[in-house]
Amino acid sequence: MKKILIINASKRKNGNSYALEQYFAEKLAGKAEITAFRIGEKAVNPCLACDACKKQHTPNCIQRDDFTALIPQIDSCDALLILAPVHWDQFPAQLKAFLDRTYSFMDFTQSDFSMAGRKDKKIAGYFFAGFGPVDIYTQMVDTNLKNFAIAGFRTEKAHVAGNANVPGSIMEKPDDLKAADEMAAWLLD
């Protein structure tokens, strides 16, 4: 059974990321082993850029927080699914800190700069925006997802649902739910 790690990067517990976390969990039930990591309930410190992680050749970090504890799962899962709002045209701050911490997978002695144990993993980003522009936000998400290649995520898929300011309104958007169904199938494939 595939191991899928869901990163929920919203603070709104009644919001769209939480609604789709449940939706994806139902779609993937019995087909994948799901772990949800809700960043809003976790401690993910900024990267110290101390380069202590460059003195080794397996992913690790000298900080002792919830990101460091998650490293083995990030390294061994089959796929990562990020559910998150767009904040000021970008990744929300805690998710950006999460991305920065994947520096602990970077190894300058490797030809592909990665010390990830697995380099065949998939990453999907399903984002929500109050307004848009959805096409530009999709590009922004895609560009950021490509940075996860250092942690071994080498194929990516992005979707942004616009006009989603109202908490839970995603459940009334058939086209966006269809995109979620397609993303779930892609993650399982």
- Candidates 4, 6, 16, 159; binder of ligand FMN (CB under 6 A) is 16
Cα diameter, the chain: 50
12 lies in the site for ligand FMN, by CB under 6 A: yes
17 lies in the site for ligand FMN, by CB under 6 A: yes
Distance (Å, whole) CA 127 – CA 162: 9
Q: Which is nearer to ligand FMN, 9 or 61 (CB)?
A: 9
Q: Which is nearer to ligand FMN, 79 or 86 (CB)?
A: 86
125 lies in the site for ligand FMN, by CB under 6 A: no
88 lies in the site for ligand FMN, by CB under 6 A: yes
Distance (Å, whole) CA 142 – CA 159: 9
Helix axes 16-28, 174-188, angle to 10 degrees: 50
What does DSSP say about strands 32-38 and 79-85: parallel, antiparallel, or unpaired?
Answer: unpaired
Q: Which is nearer to ligand FMN, 35 or 165 (CB)?
A: 165
Cβ-closest position to ligand FMN: 15
Residue located via tokens 């009334």: 172
- Candidates 87, 96, 118, 119; binder of ligand FMN (CB under 6 A) is 87
Q: Which is nearer to ligand FMN, 76 or 163 (CB)?
A: 163
Distance (Å, whole) CA 55 – CA 122: 27
57-65, 67-75, 83-91, 179-187 -> range binding ligand FMN (CB under 6 A)? 83-91
Specify which residues 4 forms β-bridges with.
34, 79
Task: Give the SS3 label for residue 26.
Answer: helix
Residue located via tokens 């929920």: 8
Residues that bind ligand FMN (CB under 6 A): 10, 12, 15-17, 85-89, 128-132, 164-165, 167
